[in-house]
Amino acid sequence: MSSHDFINACEYLRATVVGGDQTSPSLNQSQAEQIINVVAQAMGMRDEELAHKLANYWAAFPAI
Residues of the chain with pLDDT under 70: 1-2, 18-25, 62-64
Handedness of CA 25, 30, 34, 37 (dihedral sign): positive
Q: What is the pLDDT of residue 52?
A: 92
CA atoms within 13 Å, Cβ hemisphere of 8: 21
Q: What is the pLDDT of residue 23?
A: 59
Query: How far lies 22's CA from each of 7, 17, 26, 45, in Å?
Result: 22, 11, 9, 33
Q: What is the pLDDT of residue 43?
A: 92
Q: What is the pLDDT of residue 22?
A: 57
